[in-house]
A and B are shown apart, each in its own frame.
Chain A
Amino acid sequence: MEGKRSKVRMCCLCNQSRASLNRPKTLQQICRDCFYLSFENEIHQLIIDNHLFTPGDRVAIGASGGKDSTVLAYVLSKLNRVHNYGLNLFLLSVDEGITGYRDDSLETVHRNQVQFGLPLKVVSYKDLYGWTMDEIVKLIGLKNNCTFCGVFRRQALDRGAAFLKADKLVTGHNADDIAETVLLNILRGDIARLSRCSSIITGEDGPIPRCKPFKYTYEKEIVMYAYFKRLDYFSTECIYSPNAYRGFAREFIKDLERIRPRAILDIIKSGENFRISTNTKMPEQGTCERCGYISSQKWCKACVLLDGLNRGLPKLGIGRSRPGIGCKEENESRGVKSIESKQCGSLDF
């Protein structure tokens, strides 16, 4: 019925320009300039309300070259300038060693380094672990490769952040990602992760706290922001197979969003409000005897996986453990592993 010329809608905030976007969060119809302002202000408010940073902080931005981290780097450097946060910002990228995928996206990060004027540090799996993902996939095939990648990436980011002497590590996880992770953790019965995946700051007891300034930012708005601002980002799926289970959860969230956009915020809220009963045993944290990284096991998950690779037993440390011995190990290893990692299909950061 409605032809686009039949009704030119004006921005409901300024009433001066043509509306360009329907905000999923508020259903407001707003123009580009009001959108930029609302988008940036909400993130600023979140940073202030949650005391994410202190003046003088060295902040590493996990940068994959994808839309989320590219917009995050752009917005954070803008807010830092406009509101005088007094932060030293860095781009931190992980080179997993995936030919035809990561090498291309790293080029985007190198361009971002110049465009945003932020120093860049790249850490590679090859340097840290002696293996590239290409080599690992050659050995183990396309099953479980995402486990290796996810575990290695989490540690690689921490090591890169430590190299940069960073006080905080920020990642571009958006509201859709977090809603999806809440749902997945419920589907897996993973209480340890469920309780943490919706926190804006995690790992405060670990070496470097991580925070998610886009926690309440819709993916749609991030992509619209990047599109309107013509930001340079990379958008190709990892060549080593998407994670089917996560894919279903993602699709479900997107279907819900189409019917009721608030569903995303409500799922996050559910995640935040879950309380863990006192008789649920939570893993205790220590350090890995081998590499010193945080671990609730004798060895951290990365060391177990690496040991398997180096001994030619790559299945070591993979998959669900058996009941009995199993439960404990499973919980603990997962407690250490990235609780919010977007394993392949949609990349971590």
Chain B
Amino acid sequence: MENKMKATREGYAEALLILGEENPDIVVLDADLSKSTLTNRFAEKFPGRFFDMGIAEQDMMGTAAGLAKAGKIPFVTTYGVFVSGRAWDQIRTTVCYGCFNVKIGGAHGGISVGPDGATHQSLEEIALMRVLPNMNVIVPCDAIETRKATLAAVEIQGPVYIRFGREKTPVITDEDTPYEFGKALTFRDGSDITVIACGYEVGEALAAAEELEKENGLSVRVINLHTIKPIDEEAIVKAAKETGAIVTAEEHQAAGGMGSAIAEVVVRNCPVPMRLVGIEDRFGESGQPEELLEEFGLTSRFIKKAVLETFERKKQPAANRAV
């Protein structure tokens, strides 16, 4: 795989251009952030199908529902923190309860937005979105997968939330990497323990797995869970049964996010020792992305530590597994 850096928002913007070309019903709405979300590229190419809704996320969401009601396929785009937070009731009551075909692009996801600080770092949207009936939630791992996921979102009838980020991040898939909505991808096979990650953390998980194999002789499976809802129960249960321990990693609050969604599947089917790597009940702060990923415990070394500790628990008899 190429070791290229590219922001996932680029993948979203590329997909919108392709979709705009293919389907005249595609429309895009933004809330005064089109230069940051890169929907300005769609706006330049298809000005009649782009609506700047001003700094008014709630109205933007309702307008999108109306457009969907009339047969359009709206992509509502702005920072994830605003779209999932300010417009949550509109997403719940109008979009999800009404099951309208609205696609939501949550830009600038995660702590790695950096210097803008806590108000702009979206750390809760996976939790906020995944609890809503009818909603689908996708957190792609790189720019290529974001493009594929955005293209695939149109094939799904109903609301979809796609999270992407601003910072350039490693491109870890290529054009040939399969992408199927709802289907987790095993990026690395292993038998001792499984790390399940989404978004930027997939790369960190792969780095951790490689080092763990070299340094500790551990065989670590790494799964890219790009679709958080509907969740791939089969892949999770298989990992739990075959490797007996799971660590999850996400650039999101540890509570309520992807890790929690996985834990829900695991406890229902085959409880195994688990650890959730994520942000521990804190708001973010200003800093460079790499400083923040370190401060908030999201770099590969934290995943390694969680893997080693969880693997130790796995070796204990069940009664002695308490942390």
Do these two chains interact? no
